[in-house]
Amino acid sequence: MLEQLLVVTTTAEDLSAVEDAYTRHLHYHVIDRAAVSPSLARAWAAPAMAGRASLLLEPMTGKAVHLRFVKSPRVPGYAPLTTWGWNSTEILVEDPDALAEALHGSPFRIIGAPAALSANAAVRAMQVVGPADEVLYLTRIPPGQSAFGLGSAEAAVDRVFIVVAGGPDVEALRGFYRDVLEMEVTPAMPATVEVLSDAHGLPRTQQHPMAVAPLPRDFLVELDGYPDTSGPRPARAGELPPGMASVAFRASGLPVGNAASRDPGVVVDDPPYAGARVTLLRGVTGERIELVTG
């Protein structure tokens, strides 16, 4: 049902800091500055976000996979990788080691040094926390080395290709993406995720269950089982949650028999939706999934 990843929306206290960080250090450029429209706020089920300043960013390659940041005050009690929902955004890059050197002293705080993946030593990744408390994985996939047809970077920093949802029950996550969104989902396998263990004060060798739900090509959704020390994300009434708040996908349709199938959705003119209909679906951890049709 999910065909293409379109937009990752993140809340941010300081949009100027976000713009400076992404344009100077990750080579993104701003393609839109605007107040959030009432229709987009309705599509998010977050009416208090209407009128908030926002930035829409595009990678240097010009590929139409966007990052949106929306101005919002910090929420007390929120810390990256400790709560359920969307938790990290993975971006294709050419050389994580060179990028790590370039990011020293930047607003992107390195929480995981470049290292080969245990599941595929040809793939190399690093992890950072950005100026909006957003977690980014910056990953090199050599040409032809992806098991899921995810592609490779065509510039120093390219597009988003993976989004990660975390929750206390990985089997519930798997069931939702398999049964509601009709995706092929891999079995959950134990994996070492050092940055997740660090966030919870666990040994770095601790293993966490992980599954993936690939889109037809170029993208996938990663599903992580979170430790018992995690919990629901705090949020203000009527607002988007802090951090990585919503992900929009081009969709082939709406899930049959689900509340979303009976929702007429909202026509959103804000870029990049450009008059498409957006229907909100809530995942099992509360993650906002925007289904973009029409």
Question: In percent, how much of the chain has pLDDT > 70?
Answer: 98
**188-219 per-position pLDDT tens digit:** 999 999 999 999 999 999 999 999 999 999 99
Residue located via tokens 């959950």: 188
Q: Are 209 and 170 in contact (CB under 8 A)?
A: yes
Going by pLDDT thresholds of 50, 70 and 90, the confidence category of residue 47 is very high
For the chain, domains (ranges, CATH) are 2-293 (3.10.180.10)
**Does position 169 have pLDDT exceeding 70, yes or no?**
yes
Compute the average pLDDT of residues 52-78: 96
| CA-derived radius of gyration, the chain | 18
What residues contact residue 206 under an 8 Å CB cut-off, 6+ apart?
192, 197, 227
Q: Are 193 and 117 in contact (CB under 8 A)?
A: no
Going by pLDDT thresholds of 50, 70 and 90, the confidence category of residue 261 is low
Establish how many alpha carbons lie within 13 A of residue 258's alpha carbon, considering only the half-sphere containing its beta carbon: 18
47: left (phi over 0), alpha (psi -120 to 50) or beta: alpha
pLDDT at res. 29 = 97
Instruction: Kindly report the average pLDDT of the chain as a whole number.
Output: 95
CA separation for the pair 61, 278 (Å, rounded): 26
Largest CA distance in the chain: 50
pLDDT at res. 94 = 97
Question: In percent, how much of the chain has pLDDT > 90?
Answer: 92
Going by pLDDT thresholds of 50, 70 and 90, the confidence category of residue 115 is very high
Structure tokens at 166: 């975390």
Number of Cβ within a 10 Å radius of residue 122: 12
Compute the average pLDDT of residues 8-27: 98
Residue predicted with more confidence, 147 or 227: 227
